[in-house]
């Protein structure tokens, strides 16, 4: 290269730098996969349970014991079947009080009376007055001073000790999911042009089949591969919502979304109405956390409660009838067109997730099988 040529190149270099797009500008949109590793009802818990001034709610066993004399109680054998018969079938005519929660009148559920809660303003109404999509309810303040926070699920269950972060209900559910692979939630974010700010992405929710990939401590490893559950060649779960990325945080628009759930030996095909997701996109570790907000059906929730208490009547410190009554009283979303009574509970959930590779089988392979390989027949919700 002659000195004159070299001089020309050096003069043009800054101009080329300004006018030539970077490789990132031409990159194909990315697809990011995630698998949810932990899911909990979001509860603001003070050290001394100040949000529950009347204390924790009594359990089914405690309520039953209060109705019999010590002598009568001691006369019953300790066999589990005897306990179930007397504790769960304590309706006036021997009704199962979980199957028929209005057959008895238990003490009212002790509910959260505190000021603060996780959540967002789901109904765009800070005063808690009724709207076309909601019923009158009391709002919380956010943990950072926000107004109009809607979270009636927390108000309902926040004083049930077994449901709190140190209780066994949700820790059991998370443990069961990780050890069995049942109720596995997969999230796929498509159309990602920029990991920091992107005004248009899509988020798809699937159910995974198979087992979690764990390390030696039983923690879910990032960047493992997972299969999508399918039936008759189509994903069993496949709801898609729009979203965006703002300062590295994924935010979805409100939409009705089905996601799988398994815990405490109960299966649910969960529907969360007007669901929104806030999730930080992970760094190199591949680990992240987020929040889900939306409305959870009263009957859907009660079916989970009923299933647990029917299976383990003496273990869980709550009782079906008070929860059934309070859930209907506190419901604040989606009024029934005929009765006008609300049918859903505003809710907030915390979750953890790790990056994952979500495998999409080729159409020819799906056409040759009617169901996901290895999926349990019972796990079909």
Whether the predicted pLDDT of 371 surpasses 90: no
Which pLDDT belongs to residue 280?
97
pLDDT at 256 over 60: yes
The yes-or-no verdict on residue 377 having pLDDT over 70 is no
pTM: 0.88
Mean pLDDT of 8-18: 44
pLDDT 10s digits, 204-232: 999 999 999 999 999 999 999 999 999 98
13 DSSP assignment: H
Query: 191: which residues sit within 8 A by CB, 6+ positions away?
Result: 29, 31, 198, 200, 201, 202
Cα–Cα distance for residue pair 198/79, rounded to 1 Å: 61
DSSP 84-133: HHHHHS-STTS--TTTSGGGS-PPPPP----SEES-B-TTS-TT---BTT
Q: What is the CA radius of gyration of the chain?
A: 26
DSSP per position, 160-186? -GGGSTTSHHHHHHHHHHHHH-TTEEE
- What is the per-residue pLDDT across 289-327, written as a single tens digit (0 to 9) for each? 999 999 999 999 999 999 886 666 555 678 899 999 999
Specify the 3-state DSSP secondary structure of 303: helix
Q: Kindly state the tokens that stand for 201.
A: 């992405």
- Which regions of the chain does DSSP assign to beta strands (E)? 30-41, 116-117, 141-142, 184-192, 198-209, 224-228, 230-231, 234-235, 239-246, 249-252, 255-263, 266-280, 287-297, 333-335, 342-359
Mean pLDDT (the chain, rounded): 87
Alpha carbon distance 200, 195 (integer Å):
11
Q: How confident is the model at residue 65 (pLDDT cuts 50, 70, 90)?
A: confident
pLDDT band of residue 361 (cuts 50, 70, 90) is confident
Categorise residue 332: left if φ over 0, alpha if ψ from -120 to 50, beta otherwise.
alpha
Instruction: Evaluate whether 128 touches 138 at the Cβ level (below 8 Å).
Output: yes
């Amino acid at each position: 290269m002659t000195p004159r040529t070299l001089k020309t190149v050096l003069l043009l270099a800054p101009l080329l730098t300004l006018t030539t797009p970077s490789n990132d500008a031409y990159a194909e949109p990315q697809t990011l996969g995630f698998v949810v590793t932990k899911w909990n009802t979001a509860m603001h818990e003070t050290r001394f349970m100040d949000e529950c001034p009347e204390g924790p709610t009594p359990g089914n066993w405690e309520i039953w014991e209060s109705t019999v004399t010590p002598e009568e109680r001691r006369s019953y054998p300790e066999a589990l079947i005897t306990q179930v018969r007397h504790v769960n079938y304590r309706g006036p005519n021997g009704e199962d009080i979980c199957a028929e929660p209005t057959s008895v009148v238990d003490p009212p559920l002790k509910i959260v009376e505190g000021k603060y809660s996780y959540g967002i303003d789901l109904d765009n109404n800070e005063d808690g007055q009724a709207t076309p999509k909601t019923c009158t309810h009391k709002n919380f303040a956010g943990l950072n001073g926000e107004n109009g926070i809607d979270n009636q699920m927390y108000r309902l269950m926040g004083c049930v000790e077994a449901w709190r972060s140190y209780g066994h209900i949700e820790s059991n559910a998370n443990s069961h999911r990780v050890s069995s692979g049942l109720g596995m939630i997969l999230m796929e974010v498509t159309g990602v042009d920029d990991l920091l700010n992107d005004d248009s992405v899509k988020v798809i929710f699937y159910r995974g089949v198979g087992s979690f990939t764990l390390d030696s401590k039983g923690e879910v490893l990032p960047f493992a591969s997972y299969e999508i559950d399918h039936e008759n060649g189509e994903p069993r779960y496949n709801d898609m919502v729009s979203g965006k990325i703002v300062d590295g945080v994924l935010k979805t628009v409100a939409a009705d979304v089905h996601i799988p759930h398994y815990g405490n030996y109960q299966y649910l095909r969960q529907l969360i109405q007007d669901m929104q997701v806030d999730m930080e996109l992970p760094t190199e570790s591949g680990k992240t956390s987020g929040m889900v907000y939306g409305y959870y059906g009263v009957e859907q929730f009660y079916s989970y409660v009923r299933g647990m208490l029917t299976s383990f009547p003496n273990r869980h410190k709550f009782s079906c009838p008070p929860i059934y009554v309070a859930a209907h009283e506190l419901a604040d979303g989606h009024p029934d067109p005929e009765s006008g009574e609300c049918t859903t509970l505003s809710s907030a959930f915390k979750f953890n997730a790790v990056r994952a590779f979500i495998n999409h089988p080729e159409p020819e392979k799906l056409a040759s099988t009617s169901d996901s390989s290895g999926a349990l027949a019972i796990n079909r919700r």
